[in-house]
Amino acid sequence: MTDDDARALRVDFPLLRQEVNGEPLAYLDSGATAQRPTRVLDAERGFLETTNSAVHRGAHTLAALSTEAFEDARETVARFVGATADEIVWTSNATDAINLVAYGFANASRGRGGSAAERFVVGPGDEIVVTEAEHHANLVPWLELAATTGADLHYVPVRDDGTYTADDVAAVVTERTRVVAFAHVSNVTGFVAPVDEIVALAHAVGALVVLDACQSAPHRPLDLHALDVDFAAFSGHKMLGPTGIGVLYGRRGLLDALPPFRTGGSMISTVTMEGADYLPAPQRFEAGTQPVSQAVALAEAVRYLEAVGLDRIRDHEEALGERLVSGLEALPGVTVVGPPSGVARAGLASFDVAGVHAHDVGQYLDAVGIAARVGHHCAQPLHRRLGLTATTRASTYLYTSTDEIDRLIDAVSGVRRYFGVDGEATA
């Protein structure tokens, strides 16, 4: 992709056409929430205007059409990540998806699910392994699982740049490890984990692998069968789709054995006053009213990404990430966390400006029309390890161009002078 390609794509996104504080919007917060192209907005609106109805129930025409659209969306998303439709569960977001898995383990550990669920049982003496770099969504559910089952939670410590290696993981995984959960791509450092090596280490001791794919599924080709992970989660709103929908992938056979997290309508086969039998996956995890229009819109987002090409998107963003890191590293008083310039990373960078709080940096950038994320990015342990309370993060996507990266770098170059921490305050 070239800058001209990115600018041409930008026209498809209505929100990106506006000005902020009198300046053209440079949206560098796609790592939090990506914007939606017109065709995705139209797909959801069109469904709601012509087809909207409850799925998997009712015999009328709209119910049948709605169900067909809903399941077609599942097929589309499954193909996108190298899975089959019966391995894709709709959730409300990626956090919900990871909680579904963790609480499924907890239910199995309480005896639910019978002998089929025994491989999910954890208890005293067993180990759950995460990394120090995890988003809270892939940390707190495992802390809860450890607390409720008596298992031990161990973590892979990160190095001074916030990264880790397969050898670091190998030093923590043992014969007692039952779960290894980690992010494919760090939402703070842009570090790309060595998935193949970690999966091999986990499977060698019989542990199950849970992959946080929130920062990989929208930005690079993803084949979950080829990666051989057992579970994976990602969100629609980070990949040009709507909020309110996430995706859980579970390897065939595992989902049917995992005890459900939520129970109620839509996920049962038989109910009596004495008990209930649950449907096979994926329906066994989709209790209640499903996110139907959101699934339809997410499928359209997937088709948009496929039309552009995930290889092109990845290469474009990695080039932008290198430009971003090298430019920021050259600024006095600015420290970029994560892999240094010249080392592969995703198209995002978090940085600290000496003497200026990240929230002040973010407001300064907003004043010149640049939207960036500030805070701990739901990764407090990682920031604590790096000796920081917060950072400013710029994240790119397929509609980001080099001139927006250059605008950010130029703006950051004036932050310390504006706040008077380099000897010159600006009124």
Catalytic positions, written as ranges: 378
Number of H helices and E strands in the chain, helices first, is: 15, 17
Its sign, for the CA torsion 376, 378, 381, 385, is negative
The count of other CB atoms within 10 Å of the CB of residue 136 is: 15
Amino acid, res. 33:
T
CB of 330 closer than 8 Å to CB of 406: no
Q: Degrees (nearest 5) of the Cα angle 213, 374, 394?
A: 60
HEC readout, 262-290: CCCCCCEEEECCCCEEECCCCHHHCCCCC
- Which residues neighbour 423 within 8 Å (Cβ) at sequence distance 6 or greater? none
> What's the rounded Cα separation, in Å, for the pair 252 and 34?
30
Phi, psi of 66 (to 5 degrees): -65, -45
Which two three-digit tokens encode residue 180? 């290894």
Q: Following DSSP, what letter does each residue of 83-100 receive, concatenated?
A: --GGGEEEESSHHHHHHH
* CA–CA distance, 76 with 80 (Å, rounded to integer): 6
As a whole number of angstroms, the distance between CA 14 and CA 85 comes to: 32
> Do 316 and 3 touch, CB atoms closer than 8 A?
no
Give the strand pairing for 177-183 and 127-131.
parallel
Cβ neighbours for 189, distance < 8 A, ≥ 6 positions apart: 133, 161, 162, 163, 337, 338, 339, 345, 350, 382
3-class SS at 256?
Answer: helix
